């Protein structure tokens, strides 16, 4: 009986150990994914920081070299083309005092290896009037290049998300 108890205890310990190992591994993978998603969503934060401070260079720092942006009836190819797009865009005009942000419920991201997707809707608030100037959506394909997540493709979206 004593031997049986000892044996059962050992088996139980072994099962517990293996279960803990599996849980630990699963937990590690999940944490890693959360960290990656955080890095991807940092693109949205940089976007709005650049738009709010009219920092064109900062905006361009989150775009991949051969990125494409499809918006307003046109496809912009390459960073130079995209820079031109933003240089003429409302948030970057000196006369506009717009503050931009994305409500937490209006952001979606996925990751798979070195590629991912990011969707967010931007609220541009005119601080002179205190009203929302525009709301635009962006559907992005992102890619990790040289250790940094960058925008590879932008498709303009119609904002639809509600709280």
- Which of 25, 33, 74, 148 touches another protein by CB under 8 A? 74
- Which of 47, 63, 119, 149 touches another protein by CB under 8 A? 119
In the chain, which residue ranges form alpha helices assigned H by DSSP?
Answer: 2-52, 56-60, 79-88
Q: How far is the CB of 17 from another protein (least distance, A)?
A: 28
Contact status: 45 vs another protein (CB under 8 A): no
CA distance 34 to 17: 25
End-to-end CA separation in angstroms for the chain: 62
User: What backbone phi and psi angles, to 5 degrees, belong to 140?
Assistant: -115, 140
Q: How far is the CB of 80 from another protein (least distance, A)?
A: 17
Instruction: Give 62 or 143: the residue with its C-beta nearer to another protein.
Output: 143
Stretch that binds another protein, among 4-12, 24-32, 55-63, 73-81 (CB under 8 A): 73-81
CA distance 100 to 134: 10
CA distance 136 to 90: 12
Binding site for another protein (CB under 8 A): 70-75, 85, 88-91, 93, 95-96, 98, 110, 112-113, 115, 117, 119, 124, 133-137, 139, 141, 153, 155-160
């Amino acid at each position: 009986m004593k031997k049986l108890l000892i044996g059962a205890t050992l088996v139980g310990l072994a099962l517990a150990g293996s279960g803990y190992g599996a849980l630990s591994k699963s937990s590690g993978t999940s944490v890693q994914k959360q960290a990656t998603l955080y890095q991807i969503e940092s693109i949205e934060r940089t976007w709005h920081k650049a738009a709010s401070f009219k920092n064109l260079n900062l905006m361009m720092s989150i775009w991949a070299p051969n990125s494409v942006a499809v918006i307003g009836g046109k496809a912009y190819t390459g960073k130079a083309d995209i820079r031109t797009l933003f240089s003429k865009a409302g948030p970057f005009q000196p006369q506009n005092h717009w503050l931009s942000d994305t409500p937490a419920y209006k952001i979606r991201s996925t990751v798979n290896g070195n590629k991912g997707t990011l969707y967010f809707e931007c609220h541009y608030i005119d601080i002179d009037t205190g009203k929302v100037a525009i709301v635009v959506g962006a559907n992005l394909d992102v890619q990790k290049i040289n250790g940094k997540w960058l925008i590879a493709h932008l498709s303009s979206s119609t904002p639809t998300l509600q709280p």
